[in-house]
Amino acid sequence: GGQGREWCDAEVLRRLKRKALSRLRAEVRPVEPAVYARFLADWQGIGGPGGGPEAVATALECLDGAVVPASALEAEILPARIADYRPADLDLLCASGEVIWRGHRSLGTSDGYVALYFADRYADEAPPPTTAEGQLVERVREALRQRGAVFFGELARAVGGFPGHVLDALWALVWAG
| Region at 126 (left for phi over 0; alpha for psi -120 to 50; beta for the rest) | beta
Provide the pLDDT for residue 68. 94
pLDDT tops 60 at residue 9: yes
Cβ distance 117 to 100 under 8 Å?
yes
- Residues 146-170 have a mean pLDDT of 93
The helix (run of H) or strand (run of E) holding residue 93 is helix 87-95
Q: Per-residue confidence at 5, pLDDT binned at 50, 70, 90?
A: confident
Torsion angle, CA of 122/126/130/134, rounded to 10 degrees? -20
* Strand pairing category for 99-106 and 68-69: unpaired
pLDDT tops 60 at residue 1: no
pLDDT digits (tens, 9 = 90+) for 32-77: 988 888 888 777 777 666 788 898 998 898 889 999 999 999 999 9
Phi, psi of 105 (to 5 degrees): -170, 155
pTM for this entry: 0.69
Nearest to 133 by CA among 158, 169, 100, 83: 169
Provide the pLDDT for residue 48. 64
> Where are the domains positioned within the chain?
130-177
pLDDT digits (tens, 9 = 90+) for 96-144: 999 999 999 999 888 999 999 999 999 998 989 888 899 999 999 999 9
Count CB neighbours of 94 within 10 A: 14
Provide the pLDDT for residue 71. 95
Q: Which of 8-12, 47-51, 83-87, 90-94 has the lowest mean pLDDT?
A: 47-51
Provide the pLDDT for residue 49. 64
